Amino acid sequence: MLGLICDSLTPFFYGVREARLNMTSALHIAVLAAGEGTRLGGAQPKVLTPLWGRPSVAWPLEAAASLEPSTQVVVVGRHRAAVEAALAERNDSVVFADQAEPLGTGHALLCAKQALAGATGRLLVLYGDCPLVHPALLESLLEAHDRSPAALTLLTMELDDPTGYGRVVRDDAGHVVAIMEQADATVDEQSICEVNTGIWVLDLPQGLDRLESLGRDNAQGEVYLTDLVGLATQAGEPVGALCWHDPEDVLGFNDHTELALVRGILRERILAHHLEAGVEIVDPGSTFLDVTVEIEAGAQLLPCTMIEGHVSIAKGCVVGPFAHLRDGTVLEAGAEIGNFTEIKKTRVGAGSKAKHLTYLGNAEIGAKVNVGCGTITANYDGKHKHTTKIADGAFIGSGTVLVAPSEVGEGSRTGAGAIVTAGSKLSAGETWIGVPARPLQAKRVPRPTE
Ligand code: UD1
Ligand code: CA
């Protein structure tokens, strides 16, 4: 029986654990993602809540995938198609199991049984609304399980305000004997601050067999996975528990306040990753980056900047203040994107600049281009998006509208306020001005009356 273990992991311990994990039995993963998440409101299921470029359910999957499990099962409900689409990049490694009705977490895991038929070893259970878990934490839990005689080990945490979580009930000797859900807990039990994180390890195949005997006799009429603990206790079997020292690694979200907290923690982790990798982020407090953003060391992000989706930023780039880069933006070395500029699906070549009040969408911009203040690529005709091409060394005058599709040749210029209409092609070195924009004559021809 493993009692309360708190944070005391030394490097030495990590070394031992690695050796043991290599020798231990196979690992399988089940992520429960079939709940309705009604407490959050909104049309989409809670597990698809976008968290910095990745839906909530993909975060625990990503953490678990690094442990190289033999099987990854995601239990899905009536939103299966949407969850499958959101996890499309992982569909080769993930198996989906249906839970026709959301009858509770115990029932959800039972629905994974078929997908795990014949599997032996350990099953790591994760919840799709607990996105903060990371590989080191999961490895520690597996190690605790491997060292324990228990067939079931859960991860707990201590919270100042445990409201909403299942409370961990221990006997006088400190052994875990039950988990009481908020709705079922007595007043005394509600004062317990140690709670269930929703992360478990079960031995297979026997760990799943007991799920069949879970009832629904509780305040919510649900099949609680947490009742496995009480059943094991009644059968005289030990239950393992690892108390994780940092709730910021295991919090879930059931309402908007908790969601904002979880978002904030993930945001800081993403920023820390880039800071450690050598990116200068002048004000992390006002910088928002998706996990899918790639930034080379030596780039600089100025305050009030938001970068979403698959974006890559090369060394020497300066982005911001007040810049918004969206999916498909590529900034090559030394590009500068400034105040109130929005860019999406656009490649900006080395050393090019768009520093003020500009929208660039579906554009291919060469090197050393100057995009003047107030430039707009009008990429959408109401039905389709079209491409704007601007070659190396072009100079786009302030207030130019480039209606796509259009092309600006190498070294070409547009005059301030020019409206370059759809289908226009500015040859290399030409200057176009006016509304609609036309080539500027090399020499002005005097009128006959002059
Ligand atoms: C659950 C735990 C609680 C724990 C908390 C940690 C149970 C009974 N309670 O409560 O002890 O403190 O998580 O965050 O397990 N799901 C399904 N099918 C269902 C119901 C839920 O797949 O029928 C999935 C949900 O999509 C979600 C996860 O299971 O990802 C947890 O469900 P939720 O309803 O949020 O459980 P909690 O009330 O938070
Ligand atoms: Ca929850």
CA 417 from chain centre, in angstroms, equals 41
Ordered DSSP codes for 306-326: EE-SSEEE-TT-EE-SSEEE-
- How far apart (Å, rounded) are the C-alpha atoms in residues 207 and 40? 32
User: What are the tokens at 285?
Assistant: 């407090």
Number of H helices, E strands in the chain: 9, 31
Intervals of CATH 3.90.550.10 along the chain = 2-256
In this structure, the residue with its CA closest to atom 25 of ligand 1 is 35
- How far apart (Å, rounded) are the C-alpha atoms in residues 361 and 246? 42
The CA 254 to ligand 2 mean position distance, Å, reads 5
Residue type, 412: S
Ligand 1 pocket check for 99: Cβ under 6 Å: yes
User: What are the tokens at 306?
Assistant: 């938001």
Taking only the tens place, the pLDDT of each residue in 123-175 is 999 999 999 999 999 999 999 999 999 999 999 999 999 999 999 999 999 99
Instruction: State the pLDDT at residue 443.
Output: 58
- Residue identified by tokens 């820390």 is 272
Nearest ligand 1 atom to the CA of 99 is 18
Contact 347, 364 (CB under 8 A): yes
CATH of domain 2-256: 3.90.550.10
Residues linked to residue 41 through DSSP beta bridges, in sequence order: none
In this structure, the residue with its CA closest to atom 21 of ligand 1 is 35
The CA 41 to ligand 2 mean position distance, Å, reads 14
| 3-class secondary-structure state, position 256 | helix
Ligand 1 pocket check for 400: Cβ under 6 Å: no
Ligand 1 pocket check for 59: Cβ under 6 Å: no
Q: What is the mean pLDDT of the chain?
A: 92
Neighbours of 292 (CB within 10 A): 16
Topology (CATH) of 279-439: UDP N-Acetylglucosamine Acyltransferase; domain 1 (2.160.10)
In this structure, the residue with its CA closest to atom 10 of ligand 1 is 165
- Cis-peptide, bond into residue 102, ω within 30° of zero: no
Instruction: State the pLDDT at residue 450.
Output: 59
Ligand 1 pocket check for 226: Cβ under 6 Å: yes
Intervals of CATH 2.160.10.10 along the chain = 279-439
pTM: 0.90
Instruction: State the pLDDT at residue 373.
Output: 98
Instruction: State the pLDDT at residue 184.
Output: 97
Residues in contact with 383: Cβ distance below 8 Å, sequence separation at least 6, in sequence order:
none
The CA 108 to ligand 1 mean position distance, Å, reads 9
Contact 299, 281 (CB under 8 A): no
Nearest ligand 1 atom to the CA of 166 is 11
- Residue identified by tokens 């994990």 is 21
List the catalytic residues.
Answer: 356
User: Which parts of the chain register pLDDT below 70?
Assistant: 1-24, 442-446, 450
Ordered DSSP codes for 136-173: HHHHHHHHHHHHSS-SEEEEEEE-SS-TTSPEEEE-TT
Instruction: State the pLDDT at residue 42.
Output: 79
C-alpha distances (whole Å) from 395 to each of 120, 189, 333, 372, 391 are 66, 70, 19, 7, 10
